[in-house]
Amino acid sequence: MRIKNICCIGAGYVGGPTMAVIAHKCPDIKVTIVDINEQRIADWNDENLDNLPVYEPGLADIVASARGRNLFFSTDVEKAIDEAQMIFISVNTPTKTYGLGKGKAADLKYIELCARQIAAVAKNDKIVVEKSTLPVRTAQAIKDILDNTGNGVQYQILSNPEFLAEGTAVQDLLNPDRVLIGGDTTKEGQEAIEALVEVYANWIPRENILTTNVWSSELSKLTANAFLAQRVSSINAISELCEKTGADVNEVAKAIGMDSRIGPKFLKASVGFGGSCFQKDILNLVYIAKSYGLHEVADYWEQVIIMNDHQKRRFASNIVRTLYNTVSGKKIAFLGWAFKKDTNDTRESAAIYVADDLLFEQANIAVYDPKVEKGTIYRDLDYLGTRPADANRENVTVYTDPYEACRDAHAIAILTEWDEFKQYDWQRIYDNMKKPAFVFDGRNILEGQKLEQIGFVFSEIGK
């Protein structure tokens, strides 16, 4: 089957960029991205490309190249499902906050709703592609729903997990290490796999397209994120030991990273990993292991999360300790709120939890981030539910000027490694701060250094 019409349910961080690149590289395929969130679709259709709901370097140009030609954004979900030969499901799969598996299992209610809507609308055979990160064997649940509608439509379920790093998502899509596609081993399953392979083969070498059974594909995504997060927690654990022994964690990371068996990636000590994937996927892996009675396996992976949470708390504690064991009434400037540079995504950002800890110590937080909006920052804090919303607004001020955010601050905490921070006039910042003025680099674990001791050279605090 040659695919000519694709629908993607979900216009978020995965669905939007992925489908935009497919449309850009496959001008003969109509790609329609649908979402019930009317404002999100309106933002994707906004003539001002600066207003796209997802910020990624290069994404605006990709969208501009295809939007209105073969890339469309719509709230008419049923029409798009009806017309599509291939349907990608790219909706949120958050960690459950209720019931069985609360705090660890993935909440699959949105996936099930998508499956039921496809079943209700479809009049002809469809290929349904899991793009969301899902627990192993979710494909069977989707197939059970689709195959028991009684309307005679035949479905093939594929797993095609994303391996995007926010901030480099466009380049990851244009030049991926690999594309993974899992499906049934039946003749029909293999034909469905080949149909999706043909789509990606428009710009990706076939040797970089890996095909597996559907269960291996589903589990590979969780495993990849778990391994990457494990490296972050490992180097963060060593960073604490380095502080006690006088070793330099950056030197240690460089030394072990030169070992070809280890490699240098994901060995940068920091305040902890954030984003939508790592924590959610590891918790999901822990829940799956426990559900099969593999408690030692579950305990092993859960320790990665425990270490990550400890690092965030430790960073906040270091700020309090350095500022003479009290931050009550003191202004602490946060440079950066996104969980990493080159994205406006704040999900599980370390900044949220560091701010929460400092607010308990009655600090006044001043925030500047070049891409994160004020409303998002307040929503992030409100979602924690640790204090009334009006208290967050009273004690957290969001600035559009970084120099004003730092004015009269006792300390600066650098929580996101935005490149623009390197260009600031640090002498000017220092001159307008309370003395002694301290800087804490959460992305380089610089613990409570006085700004005047650094010599205002940002390379020392923001590599």
* Rounded Cα distance, 351 and 274, in Å: 9
Sort 349 into a burial class: Cβ within 10 Å, 0-12 / 13-18 / 19+.
buried
What one-letter code names the amino acid at 308? N
Indicate which residue of 30, 104, 221, 280 is catalytic: 221
The yes-or-no answer on residue 221 being catalytic is: yes
Q: Which of 168, 212, 140 is nearest to 343 (CA)?
A: 168
Is-contact 288 25, C-beta < 8 A?
Answer: no
The conformation of residue 86, written as its DSSP 8-state character, comes to E
Indicate which residue of 8, 114, 242, 277 is catalytic: 277
| Complete DSSP assignment for 440-452 | EETTTTEEEEEHH
The yes-or-no answer on residue 162 being catalytic is: yes
CA distance to 13, 31, 34, 67, 75, per residue, from 78 (Å) = 22, 15, 9, 20, 9
Length of the chain: 463
Half-sphere exposure of 234 (CA within 13 A, CB side): 16
Indicate which residue of 130, 162, 302, 348 is catalytic: 162
**Mode of pairing for the β-strands spanning 30-34 and 438-441:** unpaired
The yes-or-no answer on residue 277 being catalytic is: yes
Q: What are phi and psi of 298, to 5 degrees?
A: -60, -45
Residues marked active site are found at: 162, 221, 277
